[in-house]
Every structure is written in C-alpha cells, then in structure tokens.
Chains A and B, each alone.
Chain A
Amino acid sequence: MREREPKLVRGPTPRHKEDDQVVYIDSNSAPRMIFSGEDLLLEDLPIGTRVIYSKPPLEGLANPGAAIRYALNHPLGADPLYAQLAPGMRVTIAVDDISLPLPPMTTPDIRQTIIEILLELLDANGVDDVHIVIANSLHRRLQPFEMKRMVGSKIYGAFYPDRYYNHDAEDPDGIVPLGKTDHNEPVNINRRAVESDLLIYVNINLVPMDGGHKSVTVGLCDYESLRPHHEPQTIRDSDSYMDPAKSMLNRKVERMGAIVQQHMNVFHIETALNNRMFAGATAFLSKNEDEFTEFDRLKFEAMRFGLSKMPAAAKRKLFHAIPAQYQLVSCHAGQTDLVHAKIVEKNFEQYMVGIRGQADILICGVPFISPYNVNSILNPLLVQVMGLGYFHNFYRGKPILRKGGVLILCHPCYDEFDHEQHPSYIEFFNRLLPETRDAMVLRHKYEEEFAKNPSYISMYRRGHAYHGAHPFFMWYWGENGRQHVGKVIVAGAENAHVPAMLGWDRADSLTEAIAMGRSFTGPSAEITLMHHPPIVMADVE
C-alpha cells in the first residue's frame, strides 16, 4: 500500500530576518506573552508571525551628575549656564509633568538630580528668586505626593507650595500673549515664565514626539494656544507624529517656538533615558520568550496566576507601584533646536528597529498605563489613544500596518473612568460618541463647549482633573490611525458596548481575533506582533 504523503501546511513564507529584534514564529516557538490591561496573556501565534522586540537598553551613564554638569557648562548654541546668571535675577525652572517617563522612574527621578544641580548653581551665583513650575499644560495638576516624588523631599520642603506649583492654563492673570505666528497661531505662555529673566526647561524625552519647542509652547500654554495643533487635520498630516521631520504637529510647534525665542530667554536641558522599564524580578517581561529560562517561566506563571486572582483595582495599584528602572543615556543643554536634535537621535537609537515590509494584521497588547493615567484607570478613550494614537505612530518611513489593514488590540476594554481625573471623558464617551465619531464634527460642534464648561475648568484648576477639552485631543490623537486602519478588533474585550462605541469589533480571544482579521484581509495575511512594553518603534522599509 502506498504511503500517503504528509499534508503540507501552507502559511506565509518566512522572510529574511531584518533585525536582531525581529523574530518569526515557527513550529518550535514558545507562546508569546502579551499585555492586556493589568493582565498578561500567553498566546500561541500562527506560524510565520513576525514579532518585534524592543532593543536591549542602551548603557546608562555611569555618572549622571557629571553628565548634567558637563551639559550645563558646555551647552549647544548658548553661553554656559553659570555665565548667564547674575545676582537678583528672576529665574523659573519648568519641568515635564508626571506623564513622563512611563511608568514613573525609580527615585531619584532624573528631574530631581538636575534640579538639585541647578539650585546649587543658582544659589552660588546669588540667584534667589527661583520658582519651579510643572509644565502640565492641560493635563491634570499633580498631587502633592507626586510632586514630592518628582523632586525629592528636600526641594519639595523648601519650595512647595509657594515656589513649586503646577502651571494653570485657566488662570486669567497667569497667561501672557506673546504674539501670533504668520499662520495666525496665538502663542500664550505662563506669566511667571515669560516675566523671568531666564527660563530653564528640564525635559525628559521619552519618545521623539516629546521635547524641543513642544516643551514650552505646549507645556506652559493655554487652551487657545493648543488648539492650532491639537486638532484632527494636523494629526492626519503627520506621518508620523513620532517622526519630527514628517510631523505637521512638530512643524506648527516649531513656528510657535520661534515666537517664544523672540520674547524669552530659554535655556533648554533635555535628557534621553534608556528603555530599562523592567529589571530585577520583572526583567523577564522584556525578554524574547524563546530565551526564557525555567526560572523566568516560573516567575511568569506565578505572576499570571497571582494577577488572575486579584481584583482589577488591586492589580492596577500593584502595577502603578512598580517604578521603571530607567537610566540616563544622554543629556544636552543650551539652544532648544540644537539640543533637541541630539536627544531625538538618541531616542531613535534606543527605539528604532528596522523591519522590511508592512503587516496586514498588526497585534498590540495594550498595557495598564498611558501618559494620561498615571495612578489611575486606562479608560476606553485612553485605550483608543494607545492603539490608534501611540502604537500606530510608532514608526518612521511607512506605518507598520498597511493601509486598510487590521489592528488587533488586546485589552479588556472595561467601561471604567476615573471621576476625579477624567470627568469630561465620561461625558465625551457617553454623550458624544453615540452621536458621531467624526473628529472634525466633534471639534467644530462640541470642543469649545467642553473646554469652557465652568465645572470642568474648576475641576482642572482646583482638583486633579484633565481639562474639559482633553478627551477631544485624545480622540484627535488617534486620527491618523483611524484614517489608516481598515478594522480594529479588540481581543478579550469583556463587553460589547465599549468596542462598539469606539467603532471597533470584539473577539473573545486573540485566536478568534486573528481569524476575524484574516477573513477581512485574506488568509495569507502577514501578521506582526509589536512586543510592547518596553517601547519599540519601527523603521519600515
């Protein structure tokens, strides 16, 4: 009897490996670990799936203090800081808020290290009129304990609350109009910063979108000044907003930054961190699963089991309590553009992984955190901004997903909002999205109503709420993703109404989502998993 030939399983042909961080799933591959909110999934991916891992962390500087001092004494395009100081000067130090870095880093936060050095220098030069302003723009005010963690108890004790405070974009006396760009974009900036003899901006550049002129023109502005670039068309015209050279957002911010430079003396200190998000007991979370040791597997299973037994709030608390182990890899100071160019280069060096070809189906696990929910809940609008906003824009060249492809997000999509931090998000989600998901319509019809809602303004100024207009910005942030992606499927969504409200499909599991995706794109779809976190971006050929 003739023996039957084994049946060949047809799948996508594996391509040449394009980068050390790119792995193709084969029959011997281990299942992949994927974040889904506060849970960890372990998923067998189809053979041929491309998995893109983040690069190993760049080596941290051995002596960050020395690097910072060197940067202050050898600035780019400016006089050394000590040479710019004189007794009796009025100086303001502006710092990035808690949205950077993510998750918050172990103490001492790099801002504390820099500000300690700055204060010594200012003191030595007889400068005692110093304020520290958190450049939170329309983000929420930080809680006192968060402010203390950011700069350390010594500085906090000496400066809080009179000389260490949050920027207030709604203070009628606290904002000064500096002028308009030739495109009629108003530039309104924090009064204390404008009226200072010197503004020192202390930045953390977690991703290439951060820093540069955005630090001052966005961090210290008001609603009117934010509107020209936090709008849907600007985001549509940014390809991507993580690539400053092709970002309309960046272009507009630079125009506005030029006005700032005409009126203010800004000394910019920028820093780049490595991507050492997990270290020690949690280091396995950033490893290639094929390289797991038995101990890694044990830790992973223990963690997964533990998480499966915990209520969502406890899991959230646990994850938010684990600080990232970031290290300083670069620090430059001086003139904004020159400094920023150097730091962005370092960001790209850390994050960019070269890949060949776009995917038909892109899978992204959405973790528990975004820039807008530190110590809070990743609500549905923030899941949206992570998927269609950040993850979609983590590219240079071409999007990772082909036009019209399928984006699969792993997240429970719980219908939960933080009433203290995100009150206007609740109204946006429940009142506006059922009417329309069109960003242009939302902007023209409702943005101003939310922005000028006295209750939301009061909650922003007196409480710890994001500004009334902020949910709109979050929606616009996903606009180029929304225009590009053919279908979004949420794998593991615990309900149907949240994905439906966002205009997405849902699936019980990732396997089901992939099957749904294939029925949309065709059975031989190229599938790619971006193995976030830590952050990874792609240079797409």
Chain B
Amino acid sequence: MAAAAFYDLDGTLVRTNLVHAYAYNARNQQGLLRSLTRTLSTMVSIPLFAAADFYSRRAFNDLFFRRYTGESEDRLRYLHEELFENVIRKSIFPGAYDLIDKSKRLGLRQVLVTGALDLTVIPLARHLGIDDWVTNRLEFVDSKATGRLVPPIIAEATKASWIRTYAEKEGLSLSECYSYSDSMSDLPMLSVVGHPTVVNPDFRLRNTALAHDWPILDLR
C-alpha cells in the first residue's frame, strides 16, 4: 500500500520560522519610517509571541497573523518570492535534502504539513521537490489581508486530522507513513503515523521522543 512522508517545515526542514518571514516583510515596507516602526514593533513583540506559542500554537496564530492586516496581496506575493531567494533557501538544513532524497527513493509521497503561509511555502516546496502541501492561508478581502487565517487553521491536532483525511482520500497506509517535526505542538501529527521522527527537538520533545522510543534526528 502507498505511503507518504509528512513534514513540518519551520525548525524541521528550515531554520527560519513565521516570525522571520514577517520580519522580512516588516523590513521591506514602503518608506523608511514604516519599515523601522514595523521592525521595531516585531522585535519588541518577540517575547509575547514566544509566550503565546508556549501556551498554545492557536493562541500564537491568532496573535501573530493580525500583524498582516492591511497588507496588499500582490506585494506579499512578490516579497515572499524574494524571501525564499534571499533568506529561506540559505536556511534549509543540510540534512533535509538527503532525508527527502532517501524518502523519495523509498517511494514515499512527500507532503508538507505546516502552519506557515502558502506564500512562503510554495517556492520552497518546489525547490525541495515536494509533491503536496497544506499550509495556512491569509484571508484577503479586496486584495487586502484581514489579519485572519482561512479555516481550517493548520496547527496542532488539525495537522493530524488533515493527515488522516488525506491518507484516506489518497489510499495511503498510515502505519507505513512517516512524519517529521521539531515541535511539541506537533505531537498529534507525530502520533498518527507508524513512523514518527522528531527533528532537532527541544528538551521537552526530546524527552517525549525518548519515552516513546521515537528516532531523533539532527538535520542541522
């Protein structure tokens, strides 16, 4: 039966995360003053983002994506193409290429399951030769971001339920599937497949992986 490898993105395959992407956006605002204020505001908010993320990934998403309110869709698309070339490509972990290559040789479908924005993910997915992906998407009204995400918001348990639905639709055997993540919030996504693997874990996730006898990778 067919199977797939499901990857989280930020911290798993690339060093960057959502905040890096937004910071790039903030730094490249039209006008020096606007760039400066947005950048400073982002920097000041980092502890708040960290606290929200520690509490819940959903709380973090609610708080974080509000920052995009009023941004134009065209400009975001343009900036994210640039973001990939200037920042993300260099941030791909060296071991990520080999992991994906070996996984492809095994005949596994390559799927990204990430809370990052589609704008960021698409160029990266093409670069890595990923077959399929599910991401978060900003809601746009009249080509302006509302600061909300289009549901379902991809985070925590939603990732696991998306994987289950995807596997059913595509005829994949979950017990033969692999999933990779660096984050404790992805425990459901790791638990739903037969071959969970933690990547570059923090202390909490490392301990969880040890308790479950899951492999621990370091792709850095």
Which residues of A does B touch, CB under 8 Å?
170, 172, 417, 419-420, 423, 426-427, 430, 452-459, 461-463
Contacts and interface: CB of A to CB of B under 8 A. Distances in A.
Given A417-B213, A419-B213, A419-B216, A454 B95 contact: no
A455 B105 contact: no
B216 A458 contact: no
Contacts of B197: 455
Nearest to A417: B213
Interface string B189-220: 00000010100000000000110010111110
B218 A456 contact: no
A458 B213 contact: no
B195 A458 contact: no
Interface stretch (B11-19, B57-65, B96-104, B126-134): B96-104
Interchain residue pairs A-B with the least CB separation, the first 7: A454-B102, A454-B103, A455-B197, A455-B215, A426-B213, A423-B215, A457-B102
A423 B197 CA distance: 11
Contacts of A170: 102
Contact of A419 (B98, B101, B106, B210): B210
A170 B98 CA distance: 10
Given A419-B210, A454-B5, A459 B215 contact: yes
A456 B215 contact: yes
Contacts, number: 54
Nearest to A448: B106
B49 interface: no
Contacts of B195: 453, 455
A379 to B, nearest CB: 12
Nearest to B180: A455
A462 B93 CA distance: 12
A452 B102 contact: yes
B84 interface: no
Nearest to A461: B98
B82 to A, nearest CB: 31
Contacts of B99: 454-455, 458
B22 interface: no
Nearest to B216: A419
Contacts of A423: 215-216
Interface in B1-38: 5
22 contacts: A417-B213, A419-B209, A420-B216, A430-B213, A452-B102, A453-B106, A454-B5, A454-B99, A454-B106, A454-B108, A454-B178, A455-B178, A455-B180, A455-B195, A457-B98, A457-B102, A458-B99, A458-B217, A459-B216, A461-B98, A462-B218, A462-B219
A205 to B, nearest CB: 34
A459 B217 CA distance: 6
